[in-house]
């Protein structure tokens, strides 16, 4: 089963197994990371599932959409690897991807 490496806001790293068909947001939420709020439930309307992805695998991710980009613009913690985790389906191609939960705005 593919693994996702999650770094929480305290800097603690955990490896979690991810089922096929889940988004990164669902995988993080379903594995008990309460600091990833995901208030809109994955509808790309709130940016509370903001993560920073490992730049070495960024080219394997789907392109950022205009809606996602607009929502990330409102974050004080946006950087060049910022994404909304609800917009990234986790596939076996992403096995070993490391993401860091962004600080809360």
Q: Two tokens at 10?
A: 């305290």
Q: Two tokens at 29?
A: 């939420």
pLDDT for the residue numbered 54: 97
Measured torsion, CA atoms of residues 49, 55, 57, 63, in degrees rounded to the nearest 10: 60
Q: Which among 32, 39, 21, 34 is positioned nearest to 88, based on CA atoms? A: 21
- For the chain, what are the domain ranges? 3-101
pLDDT along the chain (105 residues), means of 10: 97 96 96 94 94 96 96 96 97 96 94
pLDDT for the residue numbered 20: 85
CB 58 within 8 A of CB 97: no
pLDDT for the residue numbered 105: 87
pLDDT for the residue numbered 44: 94
Whole-model pTM? 0.94
Considering only the top CATH level, what class is 3-101? alpha beta
Q: Which among 27, 47, 33, 35 is positioned nearest to 97, based on CA atoms? A: 27
């Amino acid at each position: 089963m593919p693994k996702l490496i999650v770094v929480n806001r305290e800097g603690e790293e955990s490896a979690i197994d991810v089922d096929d068909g889940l988004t990164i947001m669902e995988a993080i939420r379903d594995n008990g990371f309460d600091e990833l709020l995901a208030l809109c439930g994955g509808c790309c309307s709130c940016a509370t599932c903001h993560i920073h992805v490992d730049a070495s695998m960024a080219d394997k991710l789907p392109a950022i959409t205009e809606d996602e980009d607009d929502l990330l613009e409102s974050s004080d913690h946006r950087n060049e690897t910022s994404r909304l985790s609800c917009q990234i389906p986790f596939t076996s191609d992403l096995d070993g991807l490391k993401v860091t939960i962004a600080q809360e705005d």
